[in-house]
A and B are shown apart, each in its own frame.
Chain A
Amino acid sequence: MTGLLTSWGEWLPRLLEGLVTSVELTAASLLLGIPLGLVLALLSSSRTRAVRWAAIALVEIGRGTPALVMLQFVYYGLPSAGLSLTAFVSAVAALSLTTAGYTSEILRGGLQAVPAGETEAAGALGMSHRDTLRFVVVPQGVRIALPSLMGFAILIFQATSLTFTISVVELLSQAYSIGAATFRYLDVLVLAGLLYLAVTIPAGLLTNRTERRLSRHL
C-alpha cells in the first residue's frame, strides 16, 4: 500500500500537468462553443426560412456526429483539404463544434421558457426587437439554461479525454504513457480516474445546488 502511495506521489505532478491541459481544453471549447451555440439558437428561430434551416442543419451535424468522429475528422481529415492544425487547436475546434450543437438546443429551451408576456411588455415599452433580445430575453433565458449548461460543461470536460487519440497530452495521455513505461497500467489509471472524479463530483454537486437556487425564483 505504501509502495502504491509512493508511486502515486511520483506520478502526480505529471498527471496534474495533464489535468491542467484538460481543463484548458474544456475552458477554450466552452468559451468558443457557447457563444456560437447562442447565435445558432437565435438563428434557428429566425423568420427567414433559409437562415433557420441552415442553423438547424449545423446544430444537427454538431449534435449528431460523435465527438470522436469530429476530432478525427478535424485532425486526420482536414489536412487533406489543405488545412493542417496542431493537435491542441484541432481538439478545441472539434469540441467547440460539438459544444455549439448541444448548447444551442439547451439555450433554445431556455429562451423559449421566458414568458411571452416579457417580449410583449418590452414591445409595449417601445423597445426594438434587438434590444428586447439583448436586455430582456437572452439574460433570462441564459439564467434558466444555466444548470443544464453546467451539466454539459462536465460532459465536455470528460470528452477532453478523447483528445488523447489525436495526441493531445492531457490527463489520460499522461497516465497512459506512464503506464506504458512502468507496466503498471491499473495503478496509474486508477489515480487518473480519481483525478477526473475530483473535478466531476464537486462540479456535479455545484450544478445541483445552482439548479435548486435558481428554481426558487421560478
Chain B
Amino acid sequence: MVIAGSSALRIERGRDSLTGRIHTVNAPILSLSEIARFRGIGPLEPFLNDNGYANLRHHDFWQQLAQHGRDHADARDEAFSHFSQYGGYPFAHSTSHTDLTSLNGRITENVVQRMLRHDLQGSLLHPDLDPQLLSLVFSLACRYAGQAPSHSSLVKQVNRPFDDGALQGANCMSSWTAP
C-alpha cells in the first residue's frame, strides 16, 4: 500500500510513526530546459543528467557546461528571461501570456498560504505557532534570501512588532535557526 501526500508534517496525526517507510520525493520548480519546452523555445536540452551528480567533481564538466551554455545562448537567455520575470512554477508557464497579478495571487494562495496555514500551523510539530509571527519570519526569510543573517539581527527584527511577545519571538527564532 502506498500513501502519498504533500502535507508531510500532518503524517504525525496517525498512530504509526511510519519509521523507515517514508520516502520524500522532491518536486522542484521548472528548470530552464523545462521552461523552454513549456514555451516552445529551443531546443534546450539539459546538460546535467538526473543521476549525473558525480560529474560535478570533474573540472571538464564545468568547462563543458560553460560551452553548452554558449552553444545554446539564444534559447537559454530567452528561457532565463521568462524565469526572471515569472519564476519557475509550472502554472507560470502553462500559457504563452502570463498575467502577473493572477500569478501573484496563485503563488500567495497555493504556495505561501498553503505552507503557512495548512502545513506549518496545522502541524503537531509546532501547534502553538502564531500566524502573524510565522508570516513575519517568512517575510524575513524572503528579505534575506541568499544571505546568512545573524541570529541576533533576525530576533531583533522579529521582536520589533511584538512588544508583548518578545520571548515568544526569540524562542521561535531559536528553533528556526538551530542546525
Q: Do A and B come from one complex?
A: no
* Residues of chain B at the chain A interface (Cβ within 8 Å): none
